[in-house]
Structure 1
Amino acid sequence: MDDSMEKKHPLNDLMRETMAKIREMVDTNTIVGQPITTPDGVTLIPISKVSFGFGSGGGDYGKTTPKENFGGGSAAGVKIDPVAFLVIKDGTTRVLPVAVPPVSTVDRIVEMVPDILDKAEKYFDKKQEDPTC
């Protein structure tokens, strides 16, 4: 199939339109949402996990001109799962998970790492400011 025929084929139009619709649904604002600021100065930023898939197919039937007897279809699916909120208050950022609580020890340790790093950073900052601590 030559290049000019491929560009004009209805299956290409079908796939192009499907991908355009998926792009509309799945953008960076879907994954990292718009910041929400509360009256007391706390900023919440929603974080989501997005999964998507699509399929297209078609065929030419009978005649030699593809546009006369083309049959095709496409489908797409998008799944959006909330994962966490970034909570920003007084210059400190924390992750507030929305997911199911961890069930294993390894999961708990991984979840604790950001808080431990924050505490260690504050400790060392305080130590540099006041060496007698």
Structure 2
Amino acid sequence: MDNMEKKTPLNDLMRSTMEKIHEMVDTNTIVGQPITTPDGVTLIPISKVSFGFGAGGGDYGKAAQNAQNFGGGSGAGVKIDPVAFLVIKDGATRVLPVAVPPISTADRVIDMIPDVMDKVEKYFDKKKEKEDF
């Protein structure tokens, strides 16, 4: 436990790298700022953020000179992928996915199911309105 509490050049290296990652990756990176179009539609971008981090180092030379003979390095990588947009129009919210185009016919059919269900629901709503009159 004493080793973890001591301040070493490696601790400083890791701390500064993590601070830089924190600056790049925050909640605004995942859920973006709303964008409002002139016709009143609000779009909110949603992203997936992945990151990796690594650090290492070592002391070289005599024990009395460790602080002067430190060698180390750190690195990090961040990947941001757009996932979807929340589309808000006339009080209704929909998710518009940003996806790779479907490869097979089965993929296309699966992707079409939500739109088909919306159309069927609207059809039955209109039919019910006509019957009520």
CA distance in 2, matches of 1:74, 1:47: 29
Q: After superposition, give the CA deviation of every residue in 1:16-38 in whole Å (9 maximum; x if it has no partner).
A: 11111111111111011010111
Size of the aligned set, in residue pairs, is 132
**Pair 1:39-2:34 in alignment:** no
Over the aligned positions, Cα root-mean-square deviation in angstroms equals 3.0
Cα deviation digits, residues 55-114 of structure 1 (max 9, x gap) = 100000012143121110001111112222111100111222222222246644654465
Greater shift in the superposed pair: 16-25 or 98-107:
98-107
Give me the whole-angstrom Cα distance separating, in 2, the residues matched to 1:111 and 1:12. Answer: 48
Q: Distance in 1 between matches of 2:104 and 2:17?
A: 41
1:98 counterpart residue number: 98
Q: Where do 1:70-85 residues align within 5 Å?
A: 70-85=70-85
Amino acid at match of 2:42: T
Instruction: Write the distance in 1 (CA, Å) between the matches of 2:122 and 2:103.
Output: 29
SS of the residue 1:8 aligns to: coil
Are 1:10 and 2:9 counterparts?
A: yes
TM-score, with length taken from structure 2: 0.77
Tell me which amino acid in the other structure corresponds to 1:102: P
Residue 76 of structure 1 aligns with an amino acid whose one-letter code is: A
Aligned equivalents of 1:76, 1:120: Cα separation in 2: 49
Give TM-score, length-normalised by structure 1: 0.77
Point out the more displaced range, 32-41 or 114-123. 114-123
Q: Which residue of 2 aligns with 1:54?
A: 53
Q: Which residue of 2 aligns with 1:19?
A: 18
Question: Relative to structure 1, is the Cα distance of residues 17 and 113 closer, same or farther in structure 2, using a 3 angstrom cutoff?
Answer: farther
Contact 1:6 1:12 in 2 (8 A): no
Tell me the distance in 1 between the aligned counterparts of 2:125 and 2:67.
70
